[in-house]
Structure 1
C-alpha cells in the first residue's frame, strides 16, 4: 500500500541483488552467449565470468538501466574479447582475403549489394514472423556453425548485434576491405547452405 511518505515509496534503482542473478538471468545470458560464439562450454564460462565481473563492480551500477541490461552489456564485452582473440589467432595463420575471388561476381562493386542475376531465391520465410520460425532458426544456426570463426564473429557483430563497421574493424583489427570481403563471403556461404537445407 502506498503512503505519502516519500522515503517508503522510493525504490532504490541503484541496488543490485547478486543472490538472484543466477535464477533470474543465467538462462537468458547463456542463450545470448551461445548463439553468438558457437561454443556451449565457453558460453557457460562467459556467463560465470560476467557474474564475477558484475560482483566486483556492483558499486558502479548506476541504475540507469535494469540489472539484466547491465549484465548483458558486461557479457557483450566479454564476447567481443572472444571475437578479438579468435581474430588475432586467425590473422597470424591465414589472411581472410587470401582465397580466390570467384565470389566477387555476385556483388555490385559500388554498393556491395547482390547483382540481379545472383540475387538469392526467396527462402519462404518472408512473412512477418519469419524469425520466430523454429525450424528456420535451427537451420540458420547450423549453417552459421559451419562458418570459419572470424566470419562467424564478423557476421554476428554486424547482423545480430548491429554493431557499426568501424567498431567491428577496430575491435577485430580488420581493414575495411577485409571486413567487406568477409561479409560478402559469409553471405555467399550462408546463401548456399540455406538454399541447400531450407528451400
Structure 2
C-alpha cells in the first residue's frame, strides 16, 4: 500500500509528538523546537521525492532522527565538549580509587518508586544537565540502542572518546540521581 502526504496537517498531527521525541534526545527546548522546524522544512523540500513506501509519520520521524543526528555531529566538533578536565576528576584518587567522601551510596529503593512519573522527571532533569555530547552518547546508547561503532561514526569520535563520554555521563547521572532522588 502506498501512502500519501498531507503537509497541511503536519503541524497539527505531528508537531507535539516530534517535539517530545526531539526533546528527549537534546538538552534544550529551543534546540528541540529548531529540530522540529527543520524537520518540517526538510520534509516540505523533499515532498516530491516521497515514494509512499513508508507512512507519513515514519517518514517524518526518520527526518527528525536525522536532524537530531546532524545536531549531535555539530556538537561532536566542539573541542570544549571533548575536554579531558571534565566532570569526575574529583571523584577518584590519583591511584584511581573512589575518594572516601565521594563514595556512592547504595540505592535502597523499591521498583515501584523507580516506575513513577516523578522519577522519570528527575531522570530527565539529570540527563539534561549532561553536556550536549555526553547526552548524545547516552541517549544513542541507552535509549535509541545504537551500536557503539555507529555512534562513533555518527559523532566522528574515537572509541576511546566514546567510552570516556559514556563513563562520565553515567557518573554524572548517578551523582545527580543521588542528590535529586535517592537522598530526598
TM-score by length of 1: 0.76
Which has the larger Rg?
Answer: 1
2:92 corresponds in structure 1 to: 102
2: CA distance between counterparts of 1:49 and 1:139?
A: 29
Q: Which one has more relative contact order, counting CA pairs under 8 Å at least 6 apart? A: 2
Select the residue among 18, 27, 40 that pairs with 1:29: 18
Match of 1:178 among 147, 154, 161: 161
Partner of 2:132: 149
The residue correspondences of 1:131-142 to structure 2 (distance < 5 A) are: 133-142=116-125
Deviation of 1:75 after TM superposition, in Å, equals 0.7
Aligned to 1:193: 176
Q: Which range is displaced more, 97-106 or 154-163?
A: 97-106
Say which SS state the counterpart of residue 25 (structure 2) adopts.
Answer: helix
CA RMSD, aligned part only?
2.5
Report how many aligned residue pairs link the two structures: 173
Aligned with 1:57: secondary structure?
helix
**Counterpart for residue 87 of structure 1:** 76
SS where residue 198 of structure 1 aligns? helix
Moved over 6 A (4+): none
Counterpart of 2:111 (choices 123, 126, 133) is 126
**Gap regions ≥5 residues in structure 1:** 1-11, 107-117
Could you tell me whether the CA contact under 8 Å between 2:27 and 2:129 is conserved in 1?
A: no
1:50 aligned to 2:36?
Answer: no
d(CA) in 2 for partners of 1:55, 1:96: 38
Q: Using the TM superposition, give the Cα deviation of residue 128 of structure 1 relative to its aligned residue in structure 2, in angstroms.
A: 11
* 1:156-167 paired onto structure 2 within 5 Å: 156-167=139-150
Q: 1:186/1:61 Cα in 2 relative to 1: closer, same or farther (>3 Å)?
A: same
Cα deviation code 1:96-141 (max 9, x no counterpart): 44554839657xxxxxxxxxxx8873463635982xx220111111
Q: What SS does the aligned partner of 2:160 have? A: helix
Structure 1 residue aligned with 2:2? 13
8 A contact 2:3–2:55 mirrored in 1: no
Cα distance, 1:69 vs. partner? 1.3
Residue aligned with 1:36, SS:
coil
Q: What TM-score, normalized by structure 2, do the two folds share? A: 0.82
